Structure 1
Amino acid sequence: MMMTNNLRLPQLLEPLFDYPIRDTSICLGDDGYYYLTGTTGAPDWWAVTGDIQVWKSVDLIQWSPVITEPRRRSIVWNVDRDGTWQKETGLRDGVPFRPLWAPEIHSIKGTFWLTYSIPRLGNGLLKSISGRAEGPYVDAIAVNSPLSPHIDASLFEDDDGAVYFLCDNGKIARMNEDMTGLAEELRLLCPANAEHVGFEGTFLFKALGRYHLAGAEFIDGDYHCFVASSEHVYGPYGDRYLAVPYGGHNMFFQDKDGQWWSTFFGNDSNAPFRERPAILKVEFDEDLRIRPAVILSDQD
């Protein structure tokens, strides 16, 4: 049983399927399917990669690629095939370096969007021009350049239809109406008790009338998900707290019945498994703090 600060992960937490994926992202589409993506390309995801792959499921149990053509293998977009500014390959420690990290899939404004980052080059945003998760996808940004120079991009749609771009360690900016660029400068959302909610893996969602800002942070070598909450999108945000142990660089989504879930992938040796896509139910305590749905009791 994985336990941290009286939080524990479900005893039966297992991968959704056996395929190397980091930074798991899931959304529910208007068509009733769940869609999953994340960092792929093992073992080269610390060197040079270029694919964005997407899977789908009607029940969060059985998953299949959205594209089944043998050579494409669920790949909906590729840097070398479809990219422009993303193709530049630099060097890190004397070896080629151009990974594609942490794509997220979002269903917004009647179509699907993919955020992603190319370290040292910046964030990108892709739009499905078919309205389907399999694409084809085109660069959504009006200028042929990154949306920001940072890593770990995400999107959040508020109740009024405004869409916000997030990245890095909690930076946020509202997008313009057609989502072709930012309508304002990025600003950093900070919890009351720390300089950031997490140093990477930022994600924002709204539940029970509050905005919940998540981020990933290493604590003693373990990769955790921390969350801070606010009544307003730009804050002020309260204290950050540990929400999902060993669940760093996750995101949260609701299923068809309204149940909240966290994604998971397992980064370190104390996680129940490593670099495989997974989900776990979460709930809100009496202070509206997020925690795994299975809680350690005083008798345990």
Structure 2
Amino acid sequence: MTRPANDANFARRSVLAGLAGSVGAAALPAGEAHAQPSETAGAAGTSDAAGAGAKHRYPANWPDPAPYGTADAREDLWPREDNSFVLPLELRPRDKELGRVWMRDTYVNCFTVDGRPLYVATGTTRVPGLTAAGPWNDGIFVWTARSVHGPWKLADTTKIRPDAERGKVWSPEFVGENRPGRTVVAPWQEYWHDDGQFGKRGNAWAPELHYFRGKWYLVACMGDHSKKVGSFVLVSEGGVEGPYRLIEGNYDKPFGESFVGGPSWIKHGAYFHIDGSIYTEGKDAWLVLHNHLYAKFREDMEDIEPTTNLPLFEQKPYTPEPYLEGAYVFKHGGKYYLLHAAWDRTSIDAYGTPRYGYDNPGTGRTQYQYDAVVAVADRFEGPYSERWTAGVGAGHNNFFKDRDGGLWATFFRNPAFGYWADPSRIDDAAVAGVVRLEWTGPKGNRLYVRREA
């Protein structure tokens, strides 16, 4: 199998020590946070945007593997020791034994707040004693920093909840904070117990933070073990630390309409659209839902605009289209980039050659890597181009710009299946990682993990 050079050593070193170099942080798309002159680049060099723009030289697009839907598993598209590192997040008491934060669905961004850059990080975490973020977890934690290298500190929630764990900004545990006219935890988000199959249930997934019109919005998803499974939005009544309350449109249910889907233990009618994201541009904001849907928010941001059916992005699907997750939209160079997470499954073709493809499960197909696939368009709604592999093992991520214009993606190394679930690597899975990106310019219009060649 294709793998980065010295993979076991590189993974452990990057987890334990991080990586010197790389630059400052990120600004959100279009209009809400403006890039500012900032920290110098360090060992990783000047920002991609500034350096490439000055020299008018851009890396080339790679030819796509054929047929459409074949994955590009080359080593250059992996987060490696030379282009990535794991964030040195402040540890909670629960993290001391592992020595780092266990995290899935890593999200990192940077916003200009009161004239200064503020970096934020969050993701899906687990409770002590469980090996995954289910059948229940205890909510959403946030870290902040002034540089992508840190120091990364847990958000100071002590003034809001003096006796609660620092950094926890929302949890089903906070249901006691509900007041008339102010809902923090809706009934469908509360913990519950089943008939003995799992016991305590209820978990929150894939949180993102967005700073929009001077307010903090947190979009996340109640996971497969919840009473209702789907996406919701919280708004802060203070700073990034909260306190947060639920927006009106999620009092009764997640966004969208329910449909049949998910694992067998999800009751009929309880499954909605998961992995919600927010895209903002100017004074407007959109909800982006797993995995082809979007909706515009009302002006007051308390709900999405009413519609009979949520609109679909115009994009070119694979044939057949596999299950995709983690939709996210990012704007750069005047173009819109639509990200998805797709499992690269390996198989052997008729000639005995290994094949990597974004296929549905099937006989002889083995889950290998959880990749980031991307398409580009001139408009938010599309039509989007054919997808390409932007990062091997970097699925369910987000792209962001640092304040110098440099480009980054997050990654987490999926511990559930595939390469990072192998017993020899599992200790280095589920991390809060960031990796440099490169742009192939206004003609190529592609974003890749920074390649070696």
Match of residue 398, structure 2, among 251, 263, 278 = 251
Match of residue 138, structure 2, among 38, 43, 50 = 50
Corresponding residue for 2:304? 182
Residue 280 of structure 1 aligns with an amino acid whose one-letter code is V
**Is 1:133 the equivalent of 2:240?**
yes
Corresponding residue for 1:264? 411
Residue 95 of structure 1 aligns with an amino acid whose one-letter code is F
Change in CA separation of 1:193 and 1:170 when aligned onto 2, cut-off 3 Å: closer
Corresponding residue for 2:92? none
- Counterparts of 1:173-212 in structure 2 under 5 Å? 173-183=295-305, 184=307, 185-194=309-318, 199-212=324-337
Is the Cα–Cα contact under 8 Å of residues 23 and 38 in structure 1 kept in the other structure?
yes
Q: Aligned partners of 2:194, 2:295: CA distance in 1, in Å? A: 30
Shift of 1:122: 1.9
Corresponding residue for 1:152? 275
1:157-206: CA deviation from partner (whole Å, max 9, x where unpaired): 02x42100011113111111111111144223253242769611111111
- Counterparts of 1:37-186 in structure 2 under 5 Å? 37-42=122-127, 43=130, 44-62=132-150, 63-67=152-156, 69=158, 71-82=164-175, 83-84=185-186, 85-87=188-190, 89=192, 91=194, 94-96=197-199, 97-119=201-223, 120-130=228-238, 132-142=239-249, 144-145=251-252, 146-148=254-256, 149-158=272-281, 160-183=282-305, 184=307, 185-186=309-310
Give 5+ residue unaligned stretches, structure 1: none
Q: Aligned partners of 1:92, 1:117: CA distance in 2, in Å? A: 24
- Counterparts of 1:217-236 in structure 2 under 5 Å? 217-220=342-345, 221=367, 222-236=369-383
Shift of 1:229: 1.0
Is the Cα–Cα contact under 8 Å of residues 34 and 57 in structure 1 kept in the other structure?
yes
Shift of 1:71: 3.4
1:66-106: CA deviation from partner (whole Å, max 9, x where unpaired): 12647322101111214123115365992143211111111
Corresponding residue for 1:214? 339
Change in CA separation of 1:87 and 1:34 when aligned onto 2, cut-off 3 Å: same
Change in CA separation of 1:121 and 1:156 when aligned onto 2, cut-off 3 Å: same
Identity of aligned residues (%): 26
Question: 1:104 aligns to what SS in structure 2?
Answer: strand
Question: 1:30 aligns to what SS in structure 2?
Answer: strand
Q: Aligned partners of 1:57, 1:36: CA distance in 2, in Å? A: 9
Q: Aligned partners of 1:122, 1:230: CA distance in 2, in Å? A: 27
Give 5+ residue unaligned stretches, structure 2: 6-71, 89-99, 176-184, 257-271, 346-366
Shift of 1:11: 2.2
Question: 1:80 aligns to what SS in structure 2?
Answer: helix
- Structure 1 or 2: more strand by fraction: 1
Q: Aligned partners of 2:330, 2:85: CA distance in 1, in Å? A: 25
Q: Aligned partners of 2:402, 2:204: CA distance in 1, in Å? A: 28
Residue 153 of structure 2 aligns with an amino acid whose one-letter code is S
Residue 431 of structure 2 aligns with an amino acid whose one-letter code is R
Is the Cα–Cα contact under 8 Å of residues 86 and 118 in structure 1 kept in the other structure?
yes
Shift of 1:37: 0.6
Q: Aligned partners of 2:78, 2:374: CA distance in 1, in Å? A: 16
Change in CA separation of 1:92 and 1:186 when aligned onto 2, cut-off 3 Å: farther
1:97-124: CA deviation from partner (whole Å, max 9, x where unpaired): 3211111111111111111111343211
Q: Aligned partners of 1:134, 1:92: CA distance in 2, in Å? A: 36
- Structure 1 or 2: more helix by fraction: 2
Q: Aligned partners of 2:310, 2:123: CA distance in 1, in Å? A: 24
Q: Aligned partners of 2:327, 2:193: CA distance in 1, in Å? A: 25
Number of corresponding residues:
294
Q: Aligned partners of 1:20, 1:250: CA distance in 2, in Å? A: 16
CA RMSD of aligned residues (A): 2.3
Change in CA separation of 1:93 and 1:109 when aligned onto 2, cut-off 3 Å: farther
Structure number with larger C-alpha Rg? 2
TM-score (norm 1): 0.90
